[in-house]
Amino acid sequence: MKTLSPKKLCLVGLLSILLMLIVFMSFHQDTIKIDYYKSRLLKNHSREPITEYPIGPTSLTGNEEKHDAHVKLKEGPDPKVTEEPSQPLNVGTEKKEPIKKPVKVHVPDEIHPKSQADLWIKLSPSNVIRRVGYLDKRNLNDVRLNIILMQDKRQRPLPTVFVRLHYTDAKEPLCLSTELDHSAIEEGHDNYVLYLVRSPQLTEAQRESLSHVTISTKGDCKDESIPIAIETVFDPKEYKYKFAMCLHKSVRPDLEPKVLLDWVKLNLALGTEFMTIFLQAGAEKIYEVLEPYVKKGVLEVLDWKLEPPLIDSVSYHDGQTGVIAECIWRNINSVKYLGMNDADEFFIPQKHHTLLEMMEELDQPMSKRYGSYLFTNTLMVDNGRLLPIVEKALSSNKCTGLDPMSLPVYFKRGKSCTTYAEKIIMVPNAASTAWPHHLFSYRADKYTKELRVPDSIGRSQHYRPTWDGYFHRCSPSQLSDSLSAGNYFYNVTGCTP
């Protein structure tokens, strides 16, 4: 055999080394690709976003899906990626969509101060919807959503409203049609009147894990609104407050703050445990006067703000039936008896000292309790002198420093006449909507609509600044101190008897 020369042997060795280096580099480059693709698959499985790709020789070329499939074949199944499902998959569903995370939204409440955008959604030029709804679970066989809509009664047709239910879990949102429950008096002064937007009866699955809702005017709910908060109401066994009061009209900034302060003080003296007042825009001075009672926990001040620019013009009573409806629904869970009156009106017991004592006598056990109690509206007029009990207290020098001119109007009027009108104390758990004088819709299966209360037990006393045009209906008569607000003089003023 012919022997290679040293030079040729050296050349063969160099060529062999070079060939080995080429094979090594090729294998190493493929290994880098495999490691990168495997890492990318794991990132996709953990739902972390891929924010950058490799540069240079390891960047993807051609079809990315083919490369990924190639990696799986070479590397074998990764248990984190190809784990067997607990149930067999249908054909074509091997690629699962990521589980949807619950949508978390911040929905403001109505507690003052709030903007119109916090409080209302403008559905069309003639109607607006309140940004709070109520899931009514008082009857578990008929659970529905209820949302306050205020409609300009001068405009027709009524809107078609759909509601979309959103959930705290991964459940798909659900779009439903609704019905409108009209709860207002057409001949009333208000242009904006209440319609209660009511969903169909909801199944347990439809209402479980409910987070919030949106509303739409389209059947597919694709033009849905911003979120509407949902509060759940139920059939309470116990109540936080036995007796509460609500002003049945929102307060405008031109109302003298002292009028509301006097309203709060007398209601507290009458035994009222909690009160609710709604404000229009610009009523900051009123809130400042009432804030000490808010801090004490006996009063809540909410913003209503149904006014321009949200609507085209001021409504006569600022949508009074909407205020009443919201006060009912807010108090269903917490209040046993709820009085509705204006800032110059008071329910005055005629044989009891407190309103609760009066209501407990009226609300006797029976097969169907009353849902509301109607009190004669008594018009109180100025007879040119203070109530006798007030005059006696002032003359005794026990109330030094008390200015008679600054006393509330209810200590200055002793004459009255009675009209046909009545004011209402209701059971919130019985009601859905109402007017200041009677219930509109209520739970007829559980409650009798109303009881007319004898004047000998209680009256509504009305202290309007002027009664021009009213006294052709009745003749004034004198009220004794026991039938007027005089019994509460010392409680309100702090004077010592």
CA-to-CA dists, residue 16 to 257, 293, 320, angstroms: 102, 96, 98
Q: Which helix (H) or strand (E) holds 32?
A: helix 6-45
Residue 258 falls inside a structural domain: yes
Phi-psi category of residue 282: left, alpha or beta, with phi > 0 → left and psi -120 to 50 → alpha: left
Count CB-CB contacts under 10 A for residue 79.
Answer: 8
Mean pLDDT for the stretch of residues 335-358: 96
Q: Half-sphere exposure of 359 toward its Cβ, with a 13 Å CA cutoff?
A: 25
Count CB-CB contacts under 10 A for residue 265.
Answer: 18
Q: For the chain, what is the radius of gyration of the CA atoms?
A: 36
Phi-psi category of residue 90: left, alpha or beta, with phi > 0 → left and psi -120 to 50 → alpha: beta
Of the pLDDT bands very low, low, confident and very high (cuts 50, 70, 90), residue 304 is very high
Q: What share of the chain is helix, strand, coil (3-state, %, to 5)?
A: 30, 25, 45
Residue 473 falls inside a structural domain: yes
- 255 in the same domain as 142: no
Of the pLDDT bands very low, low, confident and very high (cuts 50, 70, 90), residue 33 is very low
- 296 in the same domain as 397: yes
Of the pLDDT bands very low, low, confident and very high (cuts 50, 70, 90), residue 465 is confident
Tokens of 361: 């006598």
How many domains does the chain divide into?
Answer: 2
Phi, psi dihedrals of residue 8, rounded to the nearest 5°: -70, -40
Query: Model's pTM, two decimal places?
Result: 0.78
Mean pLDDT for the stretch of residues 145-160: 94
Of the pLDDT bands very low, low, confident and very high (cuts 50, 70, 90), residue 215 is very high
Residue 106 falls inside a structural domain: no
- 316 in the same domain as 225: no
- 255 in the same domain as 188: no
- Which of 271-280, 354-363, 415-424 comes out lowest in average pLDDT? 415-424
- 460 in the same domain as 322: yes
Tokens of 107: 């929905």
241-255 pLDDT, tens per residue?
A: 999 999 999 999 999
User: If you average pLDDT over every residue of the chain, what do you get?
Assistant: 81
Report the C-alpha gap between 431 and 5 in whole angstroms.
Answer: 113
Say which CATH number the domain at 434 has.
Answer: 3.90.550
Say which CATH number the domain at 208 has.
Answer: 2.60.40
Of the pLDDT bands very low, low, confident and very high (cuts 50, 70, 90), residue 385 is confident
pLDDT at 43: 32
pLDDT at 496: 79
Residue 454 falls inside a structural domain: yes
Top mean-pLDDT range of 31-45, 283-297, 472-486: 283-297
CA-to-CA dists, residue 395 to 155, 179, 386, 409, 492, angstroms: 60, 63, 12, 19, 18
Q: Are 259 and 288 in contact (CB under 8 A)?
A: no
- 354 in the same domain as 223: no
**Residue 198 DSSP class:** E
Is it the case that residue 484 has pLDDT exceeding 50?
yes
- 206 in the same domain as 284: no
Residue 127 falls inside a structural domain: yes
Tokens of 392: 């006696």
422-444 pLDDT, tens per residue?
A: 999 999 999 999 999 999 999 99
Kindly give the pairing relationship between strand 127-136 and strand 229-233: parallel
Residue 195 falls inside a structural domain: yes
Mean pLDDT for the stretch of residues 339-351: 95
Compute the CA torsion angle 420, 421, 423, 424 (nearest 10 deg). 70
Select from 233, 265, 292 the last residue of a domain. 233
Residues forming beta bridges with residue 230, ordered by sequence position: 133
Mean pLDDT for the stretch of residues 219-224: 93
Mean pLDDT for the stretch of residues 319-332: 97
Compute the CA torsion angle 407, 408, 414, 419 (nearest 10 deg). 170
pLDDT at 219: 95
**Residue 487 DSSP class:** G
- Which of 57-61, 174-178, 351-355 comes out lowest in average pLDDT? 57-61
- 360 in the same domain as 247: yes
Of the pLDDT bands very low, low, confident and very high (cuts 50, 70, 90), residue 108 is low
Residue 429 falls inside a structural domain: yes
Tokens of 376: 């004669």
Of the pLDDT bands very low, low, confident and very high (cuts 50, 70, 90), residue 103 is low
DSSP state string for 142-159: S-EEEEEEEEETTS-SPP
Residue 94 falls inside a structural domain: no
Domain that holds residue 134: 116-233
- 294 in the same domain as 222: no
Is it the case that residue 61 has pLDDT exceeding 60?
no
pLDDT at 421: 83
pLDDT at 101: 54
- 332 in the same domain as 406: yes
Select from 183, 213, 233 the last residue of a domain. 233
- 298 in the same domain as 434: yes
pLDDT at 8: 63
- 305 in the same domain as 210: no
Q: Are 342 and 249 in contact (CB under 8 A)?
A: yes
70-93 pLDDT, tens per residue?
A: 333 333 333 333 333 333 222 233
Select from 198, 233, 268 the last residue of a domain. 233
**Residue 261 DSSP class:** H
Count CB-CB contacts under 10 A for residue 460.
Answer: 25
Q: Are 191 and 153 in contact (CB under 8 A)?
A: yes
